[in-house]
């Protein structure tokens, strides 16, 4: 019987991606730009949060956005209407953004004219968690209609994020199957240092707190 050679392709790919991501962070630091990677499942309110964030911070920071979708430019068009530069990455079937893709997006942006870049990753709670984008901050959204069991089903995503935004809290009065305290308990068991902020992109509740927290992180990160 011939000896079988085992090649760990995934580990090699992830290792190469981490190296590229570290290079992007150095590049951004040299330009004085802070970058955030926003992740969530489809329909949780990523684009709505991006718009709310832009409106809350655009008078203080020069903002750019990188939009990731499998096949669409809709979100980039929506963001561009806010008067901020946007780059659309169409992944052509890939369910995540990685450092190579983000590097191409950064090449298309004028970093000297920006303070803060938001990556809106592809809607998915699995693949995006595995690929370092070169961002300084990982944020995620869990919306109330998704249910309170997602930390049990997708632990890696909740483990690596710096901040969790519980969105659509205006829906809590209709959701008997969502226990906010239980979500926080489950998330902190995975990630004790995570910040959890409750928001409603529909009503604006909690957005000021989110914007203040984010401004402090950006200020610290750009020093």
What residue spans define the domains of the chain? 12-216
pLDDT at position 33 is 97
Lowest mean pLDDT among 86-95, 125-134, 158-167, 188-197: 86-95
What whole-number percentage of the chain has pLDDT above 70? 93
Nearest to 129 by CA among 151, 110, 147, 145: 151
Q: What is the mean pLDDT of the chain?
A: 92
pLDDT-based confidence at residue 87 (cuts at 50, 70, 90)? very high
Task: Decide if pLDDT at 10 tops 60.
Answer: no
pLDDT at position 42, please? 93
Fold of 12-216: Rossmann fold (3.40.50)
pLDDT computed for residue 223 by the predictor: 74
pLDDT for residue 145 is more than 90: yes
Contacts of 128 (CB under 8 A, 6+ apart): 37, 39, 95, 96, 97, 121, 122, 157
Q: Helix 207-222 crosses helix 46-57 at what angle (to 10 degrees)?
A: 70
Over 90: is that where the pLDDT of 8 sits? Answer: no
Q: Which has the minimum average pLDDT: 10-14, 83-87, 111-115?
A: 10-14
pLDDT in tens, 19-64: 999 999 999 999 999 999 999 999 999 999 999 999 999 999 999 9
Of the candidates 12, 49, 216, 18, the residue with the CA atom closest to the CA atom of residue 135: 18
């Amino acid at each position: 019987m011939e000896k079988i050679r085992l090649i760990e392709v995934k580990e090699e790919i992830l290792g190469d991606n981490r190296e590229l991501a570290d290079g992007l962070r150095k590049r951004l630091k040299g330009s004085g730009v802070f970058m955030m990677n926003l992740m969530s499942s489809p329909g949780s309110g990523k684009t709505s949060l991006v718009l709310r964030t832009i409106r809350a911070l655009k008078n203080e920071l020069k903002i750019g956005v990188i939009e990731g979708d499998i096949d669409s430019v809709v979100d980039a068009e929506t963001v561009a209407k806010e008067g901020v530069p946007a780059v659309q990455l169409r992944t052509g079937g890939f369910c995540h953004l990685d450092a190579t893709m983000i590097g191409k997006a950064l090449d298309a942006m004028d970093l000297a004219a920006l303070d803060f870049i938001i990556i809106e990753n592809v809607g998915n709670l699995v693949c995006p968690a595995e690929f370092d984008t070169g961002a300084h901050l990982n944020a995620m959204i869990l919306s109330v209609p998704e249910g309170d069991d997602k930390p049990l089903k997708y632990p890696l995503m909740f483990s690596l994020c710096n901040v969790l935004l519980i969105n659509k809290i205006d829906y809590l009065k209709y959701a008997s199957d969502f226990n906010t305290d239980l979500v926080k308990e489950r998330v902190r068991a995975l990630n004790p240092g995570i910040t959890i902020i409750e928001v409603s992109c529909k009503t604006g509740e909690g957005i000021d707190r989110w914007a203040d927290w984010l401004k402090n992180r950006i200020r610290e990160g750009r020093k």
